Amino acid sequence: MDFSIGIVETEAQPALFVSTVTPVDKLPQELGRAYSAIIQYLGELGEQPANAAFTAYHNMDMERLKVDMGFPVPRALPGRGDIVAGEIPAGKKVTRMYKGPYTGMEPVYGEMTRYMQENGLEPKGVVYEFYYNSPMEVDESELLTKIVFLLK
């Protein structure tokens, strides 16, 4: 598995997500609720996620995090209730895989920010984290997360 910083260009990816504003200490409960609701809804539709669960961070205010929590889906699907139909935008992105506890991700964010500055790249402001496993499945030292910065 490659843990180096890279630049990718992707097409738009249909997604279903739940949006909320929450303090960081309540985020795990919000994630659990959102992911469970979406998985249940996908089951009712006879569909499966197209990739790993994600959280899109619209800010880094730890008291009022504005986040979208959801899953990429194989095709555009209708939303229902709090579940919104949308997409992960197309375009250039800076990515890096990270292995370890969520609390250890700050240096990786710093490394990615320096990389963008050194290469004249400007982030759009939304940062995605894709979660390839969960603390309920593996030890936190084995957690795999892909961090994705959207670029202008």
The per-residue DSSP string of 112-124 comes to HHHHHHHTT--EE
pLDDT on residue 81? 97
Tell me if 19 is assigned to some domain: yes
Instruction: Establish if 6 belongs to a structural domain.
Output: no
Which residues touch 34 (CB under 8 Å, ≥6 apart)? Answer: 17, 18, 20, 69, 70
Tell me the CATH number at 96.
3.20.80.10
Residue 133: the pLDDT is 95
Question: Is 69 part of a structural domain of the chain?
Answer: yes
Angle at 97 (CA atoms; ends 32, 148), nearest 5 degrees: 70
Whole-number Cα distances in Å, 104 to 16, 70, 87, 98, 107? 28, 23, 28, 9, 7
Tell me whether residue 111 is in a domain: yes
- Is 15 within a domain? yes
Residue range of the domain that includes 120: 11-151
For residue 132, the model assigns a pLDDT of: 97
For residue 2, is it within any domain? Answer: no
- Identity of residue 22: T
Print pLDDT tens along the chain (152 aa): 788 999 999 999 999 999 999 999 999 999 999 999 999 999 999 999 999 999 999 998 999 999 999 999 999 999 999 999 999 999 999 999 999 999 999 999 999 999 999 999 999 989 999 999 999 899 999 999 999 999 99
Q: How many domains does the chain have?
A: 1
Assess if residue 140 is contained within a domain. yes
Task: Give pTM, 2 decimals.
Answer: 0.95
Residue 78 located in a structural domain: yes
DSSP 41: H
Q: Write down the pLDDT at residue 1.
A: 77
Looking at residue 2, its pLDDT comes to 82
